Amino acid sequence: MPDSTPHTSGPLGAVLVIIPTYNEAENIGPIVTLVRSSVPEAHILITDDNSPDGTGELADELAEADQHIHVLHRAGKAGLGAAYLAGFRWGFARDFDVLVEMDADGSHSPEELPRLLAALPDADLVLGSRWVHGGKVVNWPLSRRLLSRGGGLYSRTLLRLPIRDATGGFRAFRRKTLEGIGLDGVESQGYCFQVDLVWRTVRAGFRVVEVPITFVERKHGHSKMSLSITFEALWRVTAWGFRSRFGSRLP
């Protein structure tokens, strides 16, 4: 797609769904097909971190067959946050009005994307939430449920966030929101990247709305969750919380 303004559709303008990938060869085709059928007017950007399983090549084939699909090839695995930041900047350069975060593994149902977009006229950021009334998680072990709920509670308490699911990765931003929260200062990755963006959005005074979703554990491939991602989230959220509460009194 050339660096020109894409055709807009409806009151939201042009919508870009950003799907980061690393070794998602089994999932990328089906998820892209479902996104295209659920929101036919939207464009899709696959940001691939040089997947050794051929995901990038499959993405290129999808893009060749459909002008609404695009691929951003990155040099190597640099983390979820870096992939989304690259995708946001790609979308800014092409004048997209709405930028959506979405996983490639099927855990985020494309059929629920229209509901997220339908809530955006009354919000600056819409979060697909597992932990509000009507939301749920399918096929997760107790350990993952406790980690997600515990991480959300910790972030919510320490950062004083009025958000039930700050770590969720299914969300729709208005472009003005992303441009207004200072993306150049974002260094976080993984789950804390998601917390970081929500916290910045709330602190900047933007409106955040949570929409219930059903989160389904992936059927193919392997989760990118690791101890390093968990520890990064823990220390960054702790540092942000103490800085926001006691920053002026710290030595």
Tens digits of per-residue pLDDT, 132-166? 999 999 987 877 777 777 777 888 888 999 999 99
What the chain holds in terms of domains, given with CATH numbers, is 15-244 (3.90.550.10)
Q: What is the pLDDT of residue 185?
A: 87
At residue 208's C-alpha, the angle toward residues 31 and 141, to 5°, is 50
Q: For residue 20, what are the β-bridge partners?
A: 47
- Select from 142, 223, 144 the least CA-distant residue to 190: 223
Query: Would you state the structure tokens that stand for residue 201, as one six-digit string?
Result: 């959005």
- Cβ-based neighbours of 240, under 8 Å, separated by 6 or more: 158, 159, 196, 199
Q: Stretch 93-100: mean pLDDT, rounded? A: 96
Q: Stretch 2-8: mean pLDDT, rounded? A: 57
- Cβ-based neighbours of 57, under 8 Å, separated by 6 or more: none
- Residue identified by tokens 């991480």 is 151
